[in-house]
Chains A and B, each alone.
Chain A
Amino acid sequence: MMLSGKKVAVFGERDDVTGLAVRKCVEAAGGEVVYEATSCFV
């Protein structure tokens, strides 16, 4: 697992890649998401 044992901070954007989508990728790669935020710039 590429991110096993890693703690990850996730920053996403609604009109691009959302934090939720990044979190799912990180978790699938074995990482632990310790902070997640999705910004809406509009």
Chain B
Amino acid sequence: MSSAGTTAGAGNPVIKNCAQCLVHVPDLVPYGSKPWREILKDPSTGPRLMEALRSFSQAVAYPPNQTFIGNVTPDQLAGIARPWYSRDDKQHGEASRTGPFGEIVSQDLFFAMLKAANVLTPPLVEFVPEHRAALKARLAEHPVLSSFADFSFVPEPTIEAEIADGSALALRSGGTLLGGVRRDNRAEGREDENLDAHTLLETLCVKASGAVALQWLLHREAIDAGDIDFVISCGEEAAGDRYQRGAGGMAKSIAQMCGCVSASGMDVKNFCAGPASALITAGALVKSGLYRRVAVVAGGSLAKLGMKYQAFLEHGMPVLDDCLGAMAFLITPDDGVSPILHLEPGTVGVASVGASTSDEAVYRELILEPLNVLGLGMTEVDKFAPELHNPEIMEHSGSGDVVHKNYRLIAAIAVLAEQITKAEMPAFIEKIGMTGFAPTQGHIPSAIPYMGHAMQAMRGGTLRRAMFLCKASLFLNRVTELYDGVSFLLEANPQANR
């Protein structure tokens, strides 16, 4: 822990609580963008993919997943021998599906959440009659999510016929058909490719997983949903019909589902840096006095399920990108306990348009300039959280350890700024770094999954400052060549341990 004096400025907001959840959905992996395209080209891919999917107990026992929900710290994960995917309950005792930050949700429970997320008549999600009661009961019995089990069923479902004619997607568990997701078959939706079953499943997955995270946040904070003033959603979906694809509305959709009746909301989009941009925006809204309790929520990405499946099949591994990620955070005025989000002028790192053509310029703006405003050097930051992708996924797919690549850049900036020597880079990375543990879920792995661990360590007095660094591939929109970067500094509350 750094011995430097406090830098926490008065009036800054705090991150009061968080929820970090995963949703294990192996039977939705074929609907991820990459598997979906490859199965269409070669239908024999489907059975090979399905044979390589993990069971729920395997996904729960997987050490990076345990790290995401807080049962294992990133430092502890680094000490667990790889391959992590070969670790199971039989060898290491039963892993828990719940952790300090949230839960790993099972597929059948999530299918019930998808049903609960539906608001249309006729419904977008329908179950076959023989599985309706059991799926609803799973949700009704859940200690945190039971309030969502208030949906009804149509008397004569037609979903099996719609799956057979290709207008609906099957929801299966193994080989068993549980139900399906249909397109919008009403007059206005019938001819709109943005409202087909695949796109609407993607959107419903964001809403339902976001609701899981927000409900866990409310539960952890023991706060009434009606006490939330404003909700910001920061997923990567593009909800909307042909005239306004991607126009938003997810925040209030999730807020409504969770009963946040007093809240308004909006969506913040910034590719993978969406959650960081949303947290900064939420903090600014609180610091301005406009709102007192702002929830930031990020649902998971269906499109990125199975993104690296080809590498896993090639290496004889299970498909490891089989989980949706979901996170939620509560931002409030300073409570004297929770970690401070620095929002003094100049302390938020941005990649300005003019700087965005050079890594060095971007990292100077992201790291050095905000720290300089706060009077801090890089060695006075205890941890840097960059992209936190699970290296076991990235290395096998040929991308290398993305986390370590980012730490090399961070350390190189420290050298260029003459804050460490080149020879000190490995020791610096060892001190400020961590092992990645987040699934390939776009906006989910970008730094923010360290939040739960940072908050816990700050409250425990073992961590003082953490800098969160997020990147965003803006160029993927095909109308700019820029990428973006966003950073902010989190600091232990100086009043907490007095």
Residues in chain B near residue A14, CB distance under 8 A: 471, 473, 483
Q: Is A24 in contact with chain B by the CB < 8 A criterion?
A: yes
Indicate with 1 or 0, residue by residue over A1-22, a CB within 8 angstroms of chain B CB atoms: 0000000000001111010110
Q: Is B195 in contact with chain A by the CB < 8 A criterion?
A: no
Q: Is B475 in contact with chain A by the CB < 8 A criterion?
A: yes
Within the assembled complex, what's the spacing in Å between the Cα atoms of A24 and B481? 13
A20 to B: closest C-beta gap in Å: 6
Q: Contacts A21-B359, A42-B387 hold; do A15 and B475 have CB atoms under 8 A apart?
A: no
Instruction: Please pick, from A13, A16, A21, A42, the residue contacting B389 in the complex, using a CB distance under 8 A.
Output: A42
Q: In the complex, are the beta carbons of B481 and A42 less than 8 A apart?
A: no
Residues in chain B near residue A24, CB distance under 8 A: 357
Within the assembled complex, what's the spacing in Å between the Cα atoms of A16 and B400? 10
Q: Is B358 in contact with chain A by the CB < 8 A criterion?
A: yes
Q: Contacts A41-B397, A42-B440 hold; do A16 and B405 have CB atoms under 8 A apart?
A: yes
Within the assembled complex, what's the spacing in Å between the Cα atoms of A27 and B397? 31
Residues in chain A near residue B473, CB distance under 8 A: 14, 38, 40
Within the assembled complex, what's the spacing in Å between the Cα atoms of A15 and B469? 13
Q: In the complex, are the beta carbons of A42 and B445 less than 8 A apart?
A: yes
Q: Is B394 in contact with chain A by the CB < 8 A criterion?
A: yes
Q: In the complex, are the beta carbons of B442 and A42 less than 8 A apart?
A: yes
A12 to B: closest C-beta gap in Å: 10
Smallest Cβ-Cβ distance to B476: which chain A residue: A40
Residues in chain B near residue A21, CB distance under 8 A: 357-359
Total interface residues on B, using CB and 8 Å?
22
Q: In the complex, are the beta carbons of B357 and A20 less than 8 A apart?
A: yes
B498 to A: closest C-beta gap in Å: 41
Contact residues, B367-408 vs A (CB, 8 A): 387, 389, 394, 397, 399-400, 402, 405-406
A40 to B: closest C-beta gap in Å: 4
Q: Which range contains the number of A residues in contact with the other chain?
A: 10 to 19
Secondary structure of the A contact surface, majority rule: loop
Q: Is B272 in contact with chain A by the CB < 8 A criterion?
A: yes
Q: In the complex, are the beta carbons of B387 and A18 less than 8 A apart?
A: no
Within the assembled complex, what's the spacing in Å between the Cα atoms of A23 and B27? 42
Within the assembled complex, what's the spacing in Å between the Cα atoms of A13 and B405? 11
Contact residues, B448-498 vs A (CB, 8 A): 471, 473, 475-476, 481, 483
Residues in chain B near residue A13, CB distance under 8 A: 399
Residues in chain A near residue B476, CB distance under 8 A: 40
Q: In the complex, are the beta carbons of A42 and B272 less than 8 A apart?
A: yes
Q: In the complex, are the beta carbons of B442 and A15 less than 8 A apart?
A: no
Q: Contacts A41-B397, A42-B387 hold; do A18 and B471 have CB atoms under 8 A apart?
A: no
Residue with the highest number of chain A CB atoms closer than 10 Å, among B397, B405, B475, B483: B475
Indicate with 1 or 0, residue by residue over B247-286, a CB within 8 angstroms of chain A CB atoms: 0000000000000000000000000100000000000000
Residues in chain A near residue B442, CB distance under 8 A: 42
Within the assembled complex, what's the spacing in Å between the Cα atoms of A18 and B409? 13
Within the assembled complex, what's the spacing in Å between the Cα atoms of A18 and B158? 50
B68 to A: closest C-beta gap in Å: 16
Residues in chain A near residue B445, CB distance under 8 A: 42
A39 to B: closest C-beta gap in Å: 9
Smallest Cβ-Cβ distance to B408: which chain A residue: A16
Within the assembled complex, what's the spacing in Å between the Cα atoms of A13 and B473? 10
Contact residues, B404-449 vs A (CB, 8 A): 405-406, 440, 442, 445
Instruction: Please pick, from B359, B402, B475, the residue contacting A42 in the complex, using a CB distance under 8 A.
Output: B402
Residues in chain B near residue A18, CB distance under 8 A: 359, 483
A19 to B: closest C-beta gap in Å: 8
Smallest Cβ-Cβ distance to A24: which chain B residue: B357
B416 to A: closest C-beta gap in Å: 16
Q: In the complex, are the beta carbons of A15 and B471 less than 8 A apart?
A: yes
B352 to A: closest C-beta gap in Å: 15
Smallest Cβ-Cβ distance to A40: which chain B residue: B473
Within the assembled complex, what's the spacing in Å between the Cα atoms of A33 and B352? 25
B470 to A: closest C-beta gap in Å: 11
Q: In the complex, are the beta carbons of B399 and A38 less than 8 A apart?
A: no
18 contacting pairs across A/B (C-beta < 8 A) = A15-B387, A15-B399, A15-B405, A20-B481, A21-B357, A21-B359, A24-B357, A38-B473, A38-B475, A38-B481, A40-B475, A40-B476, A41-B397, A41-B399, A42-B272, A42-B402, A42-B440, A42-B445
